[in-house]
Chain A
C-alpha cells in the first residue's frame, strides 16, 4: 500500500464545467500517473510525471491537463468536461528503482 488518496471519490458534473481531481501520496514516489478505465479499453494513460513540475502526455491526453507542484500531489484537470470523459480515473505511483505500480482507489466521474 503506497498511501495514495484520491479526491473526490465520486463526482457528478455538468458538461462544459471544469473539474479537478486530486491525488495525494505519502510514500515519496517520484513517478506519478493518471489513468482512465473504461469497459473494453482497460487502463489508458492520460498524463504522467517524472517529478515536480515535470510532466508529459500519455495516449489520451486531449481535454486534460495536469500539474505537480509538490512531490506528493498530482492534479488532473478537465478543462471543459464532456460526456466522453465520464469514466473511472485512477492515480498511480512508482518508485524510481521499482517496477511495481501502486494504484489509488479511483475517482468515479459522471458528466451529464
Chain B
C-alpha cells in the first residue's frame, strides 16, 4: 500500500520567516503534485514535478522532487499571511487511471 507522509502536520510562524514542509514515501512515484487548499474551498494545483532531482520555483515557493522520486519538499521564503492554508502533496503511481495517493496535509498559518 502506497503511503505519503507529510510533515509537519501543523506549522505556525511569523510573517517573513522561511519554512520547509516535507512529503515522504517508501514508494517511487512517476510524478508528484503539490496543492494548496484554503478554508471552505477545494484544493488548487500549485506544481507538478516529474523528474528525479527536479526543482521548480513559483515566486517565493520552491518545490523539489527527490532524486529517487520517493519524496518532495516545499520551501517558502519570506512567508506572508496569504500563504496560509493546507498544503497537500499527491503522488501519481502506475500508468493508468491516473489515481493519486494523497498525503494528509500540512496546515500552515502565517501570522502578521
Contacts and interface: CB of A to CB of B under 8 A. Distances in A.
Q: Do the two shown chains form a genuine complex with each other?
A: yes
Given A48-B99, A101-B43, 16 more contacts: A4-B42, A42-B88, A42-B102, A43-B43, A43-B90, A45-B99, A50-B97, A58-B99, A90-B42, A99-B33, A99-B48, A99-B92, A101-B33, A102-B42, A105-B41, A106-B41
A59 to B, nearest CB: 9
Interface string A19-60: 000000000000100000000111111001010000010100
A100 interface: yes
Contact of B102 (A31, A44, A100, A106): A44
Interface string B78-112: 00000000001010100001111011110000000
9 contacts: A42-B105, A43-B43, A43-B90, A56-B97, A90-B42, A100-B45, A105-B40, A105-B41, A106-B40
Nearest to A96: B98
A101 B104 contact: no
Query: Chain B interface residue count: which class?
Result: 20 to 34
Nearest to A45: B99
Interface of B: 31, 33, 40-45, 48, 88, 90, 92, 97-100, 102-105
A42 B103 CA distance: 6
Given A42-B104, A42-B105, A43-B88, A99 B98 contact: yes
- By CB atoms of chain B within 10 A, which of A43, A58, A105 has the most? A43
A94 B41 CA distance: 18
A58 B88 CA distance: 19
Query: Chain A interface residue count: which class?
Result: 20 to 34
Contacts of B99: 45, 48, 58
Given A48-B97, A99-B33, A99-B92, A43 B102 contact: yes
Nearest to A39: B104
Nearest to A90: B42
